[in-house]
Amino acid sequence: MPSADVTTLSVAIVRARYNPYGGAERFVQRALAALSASDVEVTVIARSWPERAEPGLAVKLSYLRVDPFYLGSVWRDWSFARGVRRALAGRRFSVVQSHERIAGLPIYRAGDGVHAEFLAQRRRALPRWRAASLSVNPYHAYVLAAERAMFTHPGLRAVICNSEMVRREIRERFGVDEARLHLIRNGVDTQRFRPPSRDERANARASLGVADAATAFAFVGSGFERKGLRTAIRAMARVASRDDACLLVAGTDRHVERYRALAQALGVSGRVRLLGGVDDVRPVLWAADAFVLPTLYDPFPNAALEALACGLATVTSTKSGAAELIRAGTNGFVHDALDLDGLADSMANLCDPARRGPMAVAARESVEGLSLEALSGRLIGLYRGLLESASP
């Protein structure tokens, strides 16, 4: 990186694939929105990136397309990493921040956490034969090697960790110096994501077919196996004795029919609404009374932040970074991702409107310090600090 006498920050952000419903991409957009208030020039380096931004996001970006030919997932990631290095070799940026595991880049945002830990948690939920197959999968072998090469590379100057959980895992698994591990939690637009007015709530529930007296749980996230939808549906079946409870599921998964079949087999198909991907998740959150995300492994889910900002008591797992914001019985509950009994008990507790009221207020208060303005200040502070400590 150049010396610190530059007045305008030129930031390159590396992100290979864009999924409009993905948490990492939403973090990128919000980070850019936060940075846009400062004197910052941003270039997104990606295989593809949509021109359409998130609603309400007025940020002008430059795009640098790096899209080499590939066949298969290993070649895909390897060729992109090589293409990014080549693209950066002929350009100068004040800051290069990667969201992909590419060795030699100065800043890495560990939004995906630690792959080895993800595999360890995933094995717990899989049949024995599928768990064993993870060890011989060439893609997982590539990611594990790329991850270790990146974290041990001398060119790595800073790692942005979005939870204490991730910071601890990186330190313990790779021996990265604590001084290079910076805790910067995801930001949330606390003006856009807020408790709904009475009319907004009524309209949202009407549009989703939720009865006035029903207790609605929201589940938001794509990749249902990792996010724990199977456990959430099974817990819903335990709460099924209450005919007015339902689960609103916003997200995509190529195996969605498996989850539809599970709900049918458990007799709750009429109360599990698989909504698919949604452009604006607010109506789903505004229609809900609580939020549930028993994820197997999630460094810091934006969906949980948004739910808390909307005043929803949140039930999540011990391997979710959002658990660090939860005070049990005050603004939500935390259970092991496979603790079906505990999850169902917490959901049953949240069917009580008298219990939810104070928790809604506490939920909103728990994210007041995680606004986009706060995110902007932390990112700019990190960038400036790195520039000031860099050799010319």
Q: Are strands 215-220 and 40-46 parallel, antiparallel or unpaired?
A: unpaired
Amino acid letter, 41: E
Tens digit of pLDDT for each residue in 33-73? 666 555 677 788 999 876 655 444 444 567 899 999 999 99
**Could you give the CA distance from residue 350 to residue 341 in angstroms, rounded to a whole number?**
14
pLDDT for the residue 52: 56
pLDDT for the residue 233: 97
pLDDT for the residue 9: 73
Dihedral pair phi/psi, residue 299, rounded to 5°: -55, -45
> Are 98 and 38 members of one domain?
yes
> Are 235 and 98 members of one domain?
no
Q: How confident is the model at residue 205 (pLDDT cuts 50, 70, 90)?
A: very high
**Structural domain includes residue 128:** yes
Amino acid letter, 354: A
Q: How confident is the model at residue 21 (pLDDT cuts 50, 70, 90)?
A: low
With a cut of 60, say whether residue 379 has pLDDT above it. yes
> Are 125 and 234 members of one domain?
no
pLDDT for the residue 208: 95
Could you give the number of structural domains in the chain? 2
> Are 139 and 254 members of one domain?
no
Tens digit of pLDDT for each residue in 101-130? 999 999 999 999 999 999 999 999 999 999
With a cut of 90, say whether residue 180 has pLDDT above it. yes
> Are 93 and 79 members of one domain?
yes
**Structural domain includes residue 1:** no
> Are 174 and 210 members of one domain?
no
Per DSSP, the three-state class of 12 is: strand
The answer to whether the CB of 54 falls within 8 A of the CB of 189 is no
CATH of the domain at 356: 3.40.50.2000
Residue-number span of the structural domain to which 203 is assigned: 198-365
pLDDT for the residue 4: 39
**Structural domain includes residue 134:** yes
With a cut of 80, say whether residue 285 has pLDDT above it. yes
Higher pLDDT, 347 or 385: 347
With a cut of 50, say whether residue 2 has pLDDT above it. no
Higher pLDDT, 380 or 207: 207
Tens digit of pLDDT for each residue in 238-281? 986 666 899 999 999 999 999 999 999 999 999 999 999 998 99
**Structural domain includes residue 112:** yes
> Are 317 and 222 members of one domain?
yes
> Are 179 and 266 members of one domain?
no
**Structural domain includes residue 43:** yes
> Are 223 and 183 members of one domain?
no
> Are 127 and 30 members of one domain?
yes
pLDDT for the residue 5: 43
- Mean pLDDT calculated for residue range 144-149: 97
Q: How confident is the model at residue 376 (pLDDT cuts 50, 70, 90)?
A: confident
**Could you give the CA distance from residue 312 to residue 195 in angstroms, rounded to a whole number?**
8
- Mean pLDDT calculated for residue range 331-343: 97
**Could you give the CA distance from residue 290 to residue 277 in angstroms, rounded to a whole number?**
19
> Are 40 and 144 members of one domain?
yes
Least confident of 17-31, 61-75, 176-190: 17-31
- Mean pLDDT calculated for residue range 161-177: 96
**Could you give the CA distance from residue 208 to residue 217 in angstroms, rounded to a whole number?**
12
pLDDT for the residue 38: 59
pLDDT for the residue 7: 57
> Are 381 and 356 members of one domain?
no
Q: Any bridge partners for residue 249, and if so which?
A: 219, 274
The answer to whether the CB of 280 falls within 8 A of the CB of 306 is no
Q: Where are the alpha helices (DSSP H) in the chain?
A: 23-35, 73-89, 115-125, 128-133, 138-151, 164-174, 198-207, 224-227, 229-238, 256-265, 282-287, 302-309, 340-349, 353-365, 372-389
**Structural domain includes residue 180:** yes
Tens digit of pLDDT for each residue in 209-249? 999 889 999 999 999 999 999 999 999 999 866 668 999 99
Percentage of the chain exceeding pLDDT 90: 72
Closest by alpha carbon to 228, among 148, 156, 322?
A: 322
**Structural domain includes residue 192:** no
